[in-house]
Amino acid sequence: MSSTTTGVLYALTVATSPARPTPEDASAKSHHAKSGFRNPWDSWQDVNLKIAGEMLMRRLTGKGNVPDTTPPTVSVHKPEFLPTRETPNLRATWLGHACYYLEFPGGLRVLFDPVLEERCGPYNLLGPKRFTDAPCQIKDIPIIDAVFISHNHYDHLSYPGVTEIAKRHPDCHFFVPLGNKSWFKRCGIQKVTELDWWDERDITVSPSQDKGTEVEASGEAASTAPEIKARIDFLPCQHITARTPFDRYQTLWGSWAIESGGKKVYFTGDTGYRTVPLLPEGEDDHDPKYGFPVCPAFKQVGEFRGPFDLGLIPIGAYAPRHMFSSAHADPHDAVHIFQDTKCKKALGMHWGTWVLTEEDVLEPPEKLKTALKRFDLPEKGMFDVCNIGESREF
């Protein structure tokens, strides 16, 4: 089965784009380390190795919060996908955690970080189990032209997920951070482009000319179906990677910008914004007196690639802050990222699906409301959260 709509088969081609300006420090490639990659900013501190032991100790001593996942939590709806490539607006559907399906005006159909399995972990056996159902399965998504992966953590990159997509949509192209191409090839996926921060590509999704029979069968000639164009950018964010205990930092992480059909979207991926040290209980780490350094990449993204019609920004998996702030934004950090990257509207993600950290499962949207109020931004209509499976238009 190919990527089809009303019977027309489409094929995707990738071309190197004419280079647009980038920040002065981009060419220095300071995120390339001797072995693998690094976060080249003061806003990052690697606390990751301590986390597992400390989490366990907190659990054993009763110090850590164990989030209650008893239903009802986040509502889950069966998503409604458009039956054709036609839509006047940009349409974003949240499929849980960091997975979004985007339908662009002009016809492009893409998925970000598709993980629809029960568990996020090796072999679908280890790792946390969903507390909300997946709203659909890969087989329910009618058209997938391209998949964008932010990094290789199991809650963002699933072997069964990407291999099923490649099987059902043989023309689908996978865009991945540097260092991930060989993993995809080992999975039997050949249509892969890996990119470094600030790399750009032009993609064209063309009605195929060599599948005449199937095209005629639908009554729509391939020659009358318009070509779909998009510009994509792989951009920085603050995170870390690993799929095993032995490959930390060996592949890159990042965020994506996609412009197609007159709409621009920024997918932040999985990211931190600052590193917050251990503070006395009850202390507000966003109090300006602290002034912890922030990740400068987001202002650069806004300046060089913004503004964006829509930002998809993580708001969950943040507590406790001294353990998770460097790799995961909290809702207040998320509003900073929203403003730095010059997004006009945003939807939250990276919550409501698996318990990865200690905050209560319904806390992220509440904290987002409080943060928006502190920024004098409207509580609704600008940076929203959806139900799982819900679509919003922009």
One of 91, 153, 169, 263 touching Zn ion (CB under 5 A): 153
Stretch of 223-231, 269-277, 356-364, 375-383 lying at the interface with Zn ion (CB under 5 A): 269-277
Provide the sign of the torsion angle of the four alpha carbons 353, 357, 362, 364, taken in this order: negative
Residue 254 CB, shortest distance to Zn ion, in Å, is 11
| Amino acid letter, residue 122 | P
Residue whose structure tokens are 């006047």? 88
Q: Facing residues of 259 across strands?
A: 231, 264
For the CB of residue 316, give the shortest distance to Zn ion in the complex, in Å.
Answer: 12
231 HSE (CA, 13 A, CB side)? 13
Q: Identify the burial level of 258 via C-beta atoms within 10 angstroms of its C-beta, where 0-12 means exposed, 13-18 middle and 19 or more buried.
A: buried
Only one of the segments 57-65, 190-198, 265-273, 298-306 lies at the binding site for Zn ion (rule: CB under 5 A); that segment is 265-273
Please, which residue, 143 or 297, has the CB nearer to Zn ion? 297
Local structure of residue 219 (DSSP, 8 states):
T
* DSSP one-letter string for 172-214: -EEEEETT-HHHHHHTT---EEEE-TT-EEEEEEEE-SS-HHH
Q: In angstroms, give the least distance from the CB of 39 to Zn ion.
A: 13
> Cβ closer to Zn ion: 15 or 49?
49
CB-wise, 64 or 272, nearer to Zn ion? 272
Told to check if 358 binds Zn ion by CB under 5 A, we report no
In sequence order, which residues have a C-beta less than 8 Å from that of residue 270 and are 6 or more positions away? 98, 150, 151, 153, 155, 156, 237, 239, 253, 314, 327, 328, 350
Q: 350 a known binding residue?
A: no
Q: Is 328 annotated as a binding residue?
A: yes
Q: How far apart are CA 378 and CA 381, in angstroms?
A: 7
The contacts of residue 242 (CB under 8 Å, 6+ apart) are 152, 153, 248, 249, 250
Q: Which stretch binds Zn ion (CB under 5 A): 89-97, 146-154, 300-308, 348-356?
A: 146-154
CB of 239 to Zn ion, least distance (A): 6
Which position among 113, 145, 199, 270 is part of the footprint of Zn ion (CB under 5 A)?
A: 270
* Residue 133 Cβ vs Zn ion, minimum distance, rounded to whole Å: 22
CA nearest to 155, candidates 210, 207, 196, 98: 98
Q: Does 191 bind Zn ion (CB under 5 A)?
A: no
- Candidates 151-159, 217-225, 273-281, 307-315 — which segment interacts with Zn ion by CB under 5 A? 151-159
113 binds Zn ion (CB under 5 A): no
CB 186 to Zn ion: min, Å: 21
Detail the residues annotated as belonging to a binding site. 154, 328
Interacting residues toward Zn ion by CB under 5 A: 153, 270
